[in-house]
Amino acid sequence: MKLRQNLTEIIPDNLLSLLPDGYEIIGDIAVITIPDQLLPYGNEISAEIIKNRKHIKTVLRKTSKRSDGRRVATYEPIIGTDTSTIHHEFGYRYHVDLTAAFFTTRLSGERQRISSLITPDETVLIPFAGVGPFVIPVAARCSRTVAIELNPDACHLLHKNTRLNRVDNRVGIIRGDAMRADTMIATGFDRAIIPTPYGLDKALALISDLVKPGGWIHFYTFKNKSEAGDLINLYSLSGYEVFRVHRCGNVAPAVSRWVYDLRKKTD
């Protein structure tokens, strides 16, 4: 994106290294993390982003990580004020409100990969569903999808997105705590996709109980490289065949999001 390079004549050298060279584009919104020292240059940074991304209408500064039960970060507007947008991804459209429900583009490739594995006769369970970026492409390909989401704002947007993408007749939406999924739905799913929030690794055992023997589980978690390797042996000893493990981007120094493609053993 060369943001830093393009601002060398505007931001002093001693501050330029603090500027992230990348930012996230969600619909017509740009999201960037700007440290306090660079706030006097917020308008110039935003102008450079819009210069290169002419469809951008709002530039938001991310000011905190997700900390509440709704997994919603906080933002300060630099240019524009609208936090709602329609995001396009691999032929699907999503109503998004960044102040109401979590959404990231950083898993777009994963969402495309997982949806390509789905077969028409499958039933799929997706806890922590958010506004539906895993749900929509999967529902377009399978027999039935059940989505669980606790945040009422995310559920509202998920309903809108299933209708917008014409898959509402294939999706059952449950507003509730995914960690209590066993009390809300029956077992026997062919596949589960678990985009786990940070610190909720115990979701794997709970959700996998709802998947039939021989069924597939795609489990996302946050670990450093050593911990990620240790999990391969742990899962192999816990009733799963481990077919694939890979990194899905860094989220903090030395900490990455990892995905494990698992299959429940039939013995």
Q: What is the pLDDT of residues 121-154, one digit of tens each?
A: 999 999 999 999 999 999 999 999 999 999 999 9
Tokens 């706030």 belong to residue: 39
Give yes or no for a contact between 205 and 240, defined as CB atoms under 8 angstroms apart. no
With a threshold of 0.75, does the pTM exceed it? yes
Closest CA to 153 of 114, 194, 103, 201: 103
CATH, domain 3-82, list 3.30.300.110, 3.40.50.12160, 3.30.70.330, 3.30.470.20: 3.30.300.110
Q: How confident is the model at residue 51 (pLDDT cuts 50, 70, 90)?
A: very high
Amino acid identity of residue 99, one-letter, is T
108-264: CATH topology is: Rossmann fold (3.40.50)
Q: Where are the beta strands (DSSP E) in 20-83?
A: 24-26, 29-32, 58-64, 74-79
Domain segments of the chain as ranges: 3-82, 108-264
Q: Quick one: tokens of 88?
A: 């396009």
Residues 6+ apart with CB under 8 A from 187: 209, 210, 211, 212
240-266: average pLDDT? 92
Q: Which of 54-68, 143-157, 252-266 has the highest mean pLDDT?
A: 143-157
Q: How confident is the model at residue 30 (pLDDT cuts 50, 70, 90)?
A: very high
Q: How many CA atoms lie within 13 A of 138 on its CB side?
A: 28
Closest CA to 147 of 121, 166, 174, 114: 174
Pairing relation of β-strands 123-126 and 144-149?
parallel
pLDDT digits (tens, 9 = 90+) for 196-224: 998 899 999 999 999 999 999 999 999 99
